[in-house]
With several copies, the nearest count.
Chain A
Amino acid sequence: MINKVVGSFDEAMADVQSGAMIHFGGFANPHNTPNYLIAALARRGADQLTGVSTYAGHGEEVQRELFERRNLEPLPDGWDLGLMAELGRLGKLITSFPNGNSRELLYPFEHVLRRGEAEVEVLGQGSIAERIRCARAGIPAFYTPVGVGTFVAEGKEVREFDGVAHILETALKADFALIRAHRADRFGNLVFRGPRTFNQTMAGAAAVTVAEVDEVVPLGELGPDEIHTPGVYVQRVVVRPSTPLDDWRTPA
């Protein structure tokens, strides 16, 4: 019998080793971020990680400020990649937004970069997305017109197709992909709610894809036309706690 549901976030992250490459899903919004997987990864303590994430995370302080600007209550459990930056767990980050959007706020990874404590590879969001999709799809490399003539093209092969210059980009396969979805079944089939962001993109682009979900439903409840990501791409599923925790150190 297939059952991909694991009992705890700590169990789901128990085999992450230092130096691993990790895809972090979501897009600059704690509501589509795998908050509890990130907290469990922080508890796990693995470091010198290579992260792949379109943004570098808000961290607790900046996130509170962003929520207050919109007259919203900050989330108690809105942990994101900023936590990994604050804890110094990132050896390298491949990202399109190494900084925050705000000129006034300093985001956690900006501190890391200023202290020279991590490497960064800055790449356009579409090229990151496609490199990840290639890992899922078994394509080692593709050509894109994006980045030609800019710092992104440095050291990359340039080749013309139909008279237009393109650069060669390669697949980004990770050891783990941490993603967030709405509903799952025991096969690991996923249904998302809202923009599916890098969560859907990263599913299947790592040796182990772990989905943090609001709910696991009985097999058959998710219909074949409705499933966004087949369970084939998902190795582990963990359900978020019904009552939010407020300290990332609390086992969950």
Chain B
Amino acid sequence: MSEQPELLDESVMAMVAARDLPDGAIVNLGLGLPLALSDYIPPDREVLFHSEQGIVGFGARVFDPAEMDPLLMNAGGEPVASAPGMSYMSHDESFAMIRGGHIDVTVLGALQVDAQGNLANAQIPGKPAPGLGGGQDLATCAKQVLVVMRHVAPNGDPKIVERCDMVLTALGCVDRVVTDVGLFEIADGRVTLLEYAPGWTVDQIQAITGAELAVAEDVREIVLI
């Protein structure tokens, strides 16, 4: 087996995920890698980012302490910018919005995703209890579930598998997955490779994937536009 090509870095993964968000979409960003998406919205589009504590319409992350609003953070506690048209609400209304099907896309991190679209992101290894946050509501009720995660776990295990064996967050919910080696669609019990990271072959990707991959007819190298 040849040496492994380069993995996409986290910002590029976020850009790939952000690239496909339609104009006008209401998008929730979950903990971890998804939080970066609000930094990468193409300027020709308006995407309304929702955060569970009661925000619709926040902007990019803020890294300069002088510009931070201590009350305005994303779900991971990172300061974000306000944007015109933003609104605040309560946690119950925020989840009424989620449960009521008003979120177009939820972007979530994951520990495992399987060919049935099952999602496991609750029981982080080494932590004393499973944690759900808002992920279970989002995965169950958003119109589209997009997972952004590393392709392989720190211990080398594949994270896209035939059947999740970790604690499940929600069943049959995942539609798309962005990893550091490609973009995948999950539908009808099958994982399909849509785009691959520069330098990667289908075989190389299959070799680090725990489910059998189908390959889209128009499979292509990832481009960011």
Contacts and interface: CB of A to CB of B under 8 A. Distances in A.
Contacts of B132: 96-97, 122-125, 152
Contacts of B225: none
Q: Is the interface of B mostly helix, strand, loop or mixed?
A: loop
Interface residues of B, number: 65
Given A150-B168, A231-B85, A197 B65 contact: no
Given A101-B31, A114-B128, A196-B89, A96 B133 contact: yes
B156 interface: no
A87 interface: no
A197 B73 CA distance: 12
Contacts of B73: 29
Interface centre among A54, A133, A222, A232 (most CB of B within 10 A): A232
Interface string B82-96: 101111111110111
Contact of B88 (A113, A195, A219): A195
Given A70-B79, A194-B72, A230-B87, A130 B131 contact: no
Pick the most buried of B46, B56, B94, B100: most chain A CB atoms within 10 A of its CB. Answer: B100
A36 interface: no
B120 to A, nearest CB: 10
Question: Which range contains the number of A residues in contact with the other chain?
Answer: 35 or more
Interface in B144-200: 167-171
B36 interface: no
Contacts of A1: 23-24, 46
A146 B140 contact: yes
Contact of B87 (A98, A133, A186, A189): A189
B71 interface: yes
A155 interface: no
A18 interface: no
A66 interface: yes
Nearest to A227: B87
Interface stretch (A7-15, A137-145, A244-252): A137-145
Given A147-B136, A150-B170, A187-B48, A99 B131 contact: yes
A212 to B, nearest CB: 15
B79 to A, nearest CB: 7
B53 interface: yes
B99 A138 contact: yes
A197 B100 contact: no
B135 A124 contact: yes
A134 to B, nearest CB: 9
A72 B68 contact: yes
Contact of B100 (A31, A137, A193, A225): A137
A73 to B, nearest CB: 9
Given A124-B137, A197-B90, A138 B101 contact: yes
A114 B129 CA distance: 9
A242 interface: no
Contacts of A70: 65, 68, 78-79
Interface of A: 1-2, 27-29, 31-32, 54, 66, 70-72, 96-99, 101, 103, 110, 113-114, 120, 122-127, 129-130, 132-133, 135-139, 144-152, 185-187, 189, 192-201, 204, 219-220, 222, 224-225, 227, 230-233
Interface of B: 23-24, 26, 31, 46, 48, 50-57, 65, 68-73, 76-79, 82, 84-92, 94-102, 122, 124, 126-137, 140-141, 167-171
